[in-house]
Amino acid sequence: MQANPILTTAMTGPLHLLEKQLLDKEEEIEAWFQTQWKKTPAPIYGSVDLRNAGFKLAPVDMNLFPAGFNNLNPAFLPLSVEAAKIAMTKAVPHAKKILLIPENHTRNFYYWENIRGLLNILTSAGFEIKIGSLLPDYVAPTPLDLPSGQHVILQSLVREKDIVKVGDFIPDVLLLNNDLSDGIPDILQNLSIPIIPPAELGWSQRLKSEHFQYYAKISEEFATLIDIDPWLIAPLFRHCGSIDFMRREGEECLAKYVEQLFTAITEKYRQYEIACKPFIIVKADAGTYGMGVMTVRDVAELKSLNRKQRTSMSKTKSGQPVRRVIVQEGVYTFETWGPDHSVAEPVVYMWGERVVGGFYRVHKEKRVDENLNAPGMHFEPLAFAQPCHQPKKERGQEDCQNRFYAYGVIARLSMLAAAREMQEQKK
CA distance 109 to 90: 31
**Residue 419: what pLDDT?**
97
What are the distances in angstroms from CA 68 to CA 31, 129, 360, 396? 30, 18, 11, 31
Strands 195-196 and 237-240: unpaired
What are the distances in angstroms from CA 235 to CA 116, 170, 209, 281? 34, 44, 11, 10
Which regions in the chain score pLDDT beneath 70?
1-15, 288-290, 317-319, 383-401, 427
How many Cβ atoms sit within 10 Å of the Cβ of residue 242?
A: 10
- pTM of the predicted model, to two decimals? 0.91
CA distance 409 to 26: 10
**Residue 395: what pLDDT?**
46
For helices 26-39 and 208-226, the axis angle rounded to 10 degrees is 140
CA distance 383 to 187: 42
Length reported for the chain: 427
**Residue 84: what pLDDT?**
97
Tell me which DSSP letter residue 72 carries.
Answer: S
Selection from 50, 29, 44 nearest residue 418 by Cα: 44
| Helix, strand, coil shares, percent, the chain, to 5 | 35, 25, 40
